[in-house]
Amino acid sequence: MSSTIAKIGIGLGLVVVAISLFKNKAQQVVSQFSEIAIIPIGVKNFNGKWNNGKPNVSFNIDLNFINPTPTAFSVDGVVLTLKKLVFYDQNGIYIGETNLNMSSLSIAAKSSTAVRNVPISLDLQTTLMNAITIVNSGGFDLSKIKTEVIISILGMEYKAK
């Protein structure tokens, strides 16, 4: 009986240690990814349609991930996924988002990597209202788009800006 309790205690201890290690890894990745710049470098394949009674526009975007740090960045494995990108204009106004679901990305130190054909779908009503706000606040500059990245580690989501 006491050996069973000991095994359960050891098992729970290992689970707690593993969760702590993954949480620490998550914080490291989020911190490092916060320094990665994501710059749109191309937009293509525009398509407009009605989706559930609402106008919808979709397109593909090419993104350049720039690592200005002296440390290589790598997402590689089952545990960690770049889940979603959320785009804002230079004033922080929501533009749209995409489900990225990338489990593999490597960027050498002081280097960049292009990711091509990232699909984006936008609700046109929301997008038009935001576009009007963007135009009224001084215009739109593709090079000044801000990106928030949602990183998933073992199903727990973390934000990096």
Its domain, for residue 43, covers: 2-160
Confidence (pTM): 0.68
CA dihedral 123, 126, 128, 134 (to 10 degrees): -130
Mean pLDDT across the chain: 76
**Average pLDDT rounded to a whole number, residues 120-144:** 66
> Which amino acid does the sequence have at 10?
I
Count of structural domains, the chain: 1
Tell me how far apart the 2 most distant CA atoms of the chain are, in Å: 72
> Which amino acid does the sequence have at 39?
I
81 by DSSP, 3-state: which?
strand
Q: What is the pLDDT of residue 70?
A: 92
Residue 121 burial (C-beta neighbours within 10 Å; 0-12, 13-18, 19+) = middle
CA-to-CA separations, 17 to 20, 22, 23, 140, in angstroms, rounded: 5, 9, 10, 47
Q: What is the pLDDT of residue 131?
A: 63
94 by DSSP, 3-state: which?
strand
